Amino acid sequence: MKILVTSGGTSEAIDQVRSVTNHSTGRLGKVITETLLNAGHQVCLITTRQALKPELHPNLTMIEIQNTSDLLQEMKRIVPDYQVLIHSMAVSDYSPVYMTGLDEVQASQDLSDFLHKKNTETKISSKDEVQVLFLKKNPKIISLVKEWNPSIHLIGFKLLVDVTEEHLIQVARESLKKNQADLIVANDLTQINANQHLAYLVEEKDYQIATSKQEIANFLVKRIQGFDC
């Protein structure tokens, strides 16, 4: 099958040396990609410079992106060519618009004016004691996938921090419906470390539990075999 995997975390530039980054090692995406390749699938992995990468493989194509805008452009282009999308990338919810010293912000009559400004400096000066950064919401890429390819099977991810199992599964179910996904892998940052990765593999009617990255990958590969492509 032709499967598209996204992995790593996006980074949204504040200026040419600083950015707002979503942390993700890319380790899970790497394990999923390797497991898919071992099962004989053709994989395209969209990832970032910082993320861990699988080794080269004749059935693997890799595309490096940096920010949400790059990701949107690439996915819009290639999602129509794939039968399954496993969207494990940590995508930034917001992008920087304008950064300035507190004085300029305090002197303003209407703060929404700053949403139409742009920094012209290549590296914002570090003279001010306090800086204020305005950020605007990014488009939710996962919600666009089915517009680009209505027949693609969509596996989404939901990462929360220190919540109850019930809440995590409820949020995953909402995401499942809203994004017309087949499955949501829901996990809690407090239950992820180098050796363990607790995840709830949530579908419409039930869910299963995996306790390691390899178990998550094995489950997904098995589940994909059952997809009607």
In the complex, least distance from residue 177 CB atom to a copy of itself, rounded to whole angstroms: 18
φ and ψ of 111, to 5 deg: -65, -25
In the complex, least distance from residue 160 CB atom to a copy of itself, rounded to whole angstroms: 6
First to last CA, the chain: 8
Residue 220 interacts with a copy of itself (CB under 8 A)?
no
Nearer to a copy of itself by C-beta: 66 or 212?
A: 66
Report the site for a copy of itself in 102-131 (rule: CB under 8 A). Answer: 102, 105-106, 111-112, 115, 122-123, 126, 128-131
Q: How many residues bind a copy of itself (CB under 8 A)?
A: 40
Nearer to a copy of itself by C-beta: 1 or 192?
A: 192
Nearer to a copy of itself by C-beta: 122 or 193?
A: 122
φ and ψ of 212, to 5 deg: -145, 165
Residue 136 interacts with a copy of itself (CB under 8 A)?
yes
Nearer to a copy of itself by C-beta: 84 or 141?
A: 141
Residue 161 interacts with a copy of itself (CB under 8 A)?
yes
- Cα separation, 9 vs 65, in Å, equals 10
* Residue burial 171-203, b: 16+ Cβ < 10 Å; e: rest: bbbebbeebebbbbbbbbeeebeeeebbbbbbe
In the complex, least distance from residue 92 CB atom to a copy of itself, rounded to whole angstroms: 7
- Cα separation, 67 vs 199, in Å, equals 26
- Using CB atoms within 10 A of its CB, is residue 88 exposed (0-12), middle (13-18) or buried (19+)? buried
Q: Is 161 helix (H, G, I), strand (E, B) or coil?
A: coil
Question: Which positions lie near a copy of itself, rule CB under 8 A?
Answer: 11, 14-23, 50, 90, 92-94, 102, 105-106, 111-112, 115, 122-123, 126, 128-137, 159-162, 189
